[in-house]
Amino acid sequence: MPLSVMKQNFTSRSGVVTIKGETQESVVGAEARKLVEQTAVHVLGGGAGIGGNPSPYPLNANDESPEGLIFGQGGPVVAYAADYAVNGRN
């Protein structure tokens, strides 16, 4: 499964980009960060950057992360996601 932008939510100068991938490592790796930066620059303009380090979390077949999923409740884990905070720069 290639990395993908699962969702994005932006205000005028900041936002959150959620990346979806096959493994925990893939959604926090260099390729994921590059995808986030490209998405942020497209929306916020040049100089947009990532703030902080995201934590990956599991997803079920419905792209949901119900409480208890990592304990086998709510279906099998089929992918992982990570939420990246992004900011525009002046």
What residue ranges of the chain have pLDDT lower than 50? Answer: none
Check residue 71 and give its pLDDT: 76
- Residue 90 is predicted with a pLDDT of 56
pLDDT confidence of residue 78? 94
Domain count, the chain: 1
What does the alpha-carbon distance between residue 47 and residue 90 come to, in Å, rounded to a whole number? 8
Q: Which domain holds residue 17?
A: 4-87
Residue reference for tokens 């099998």: 76
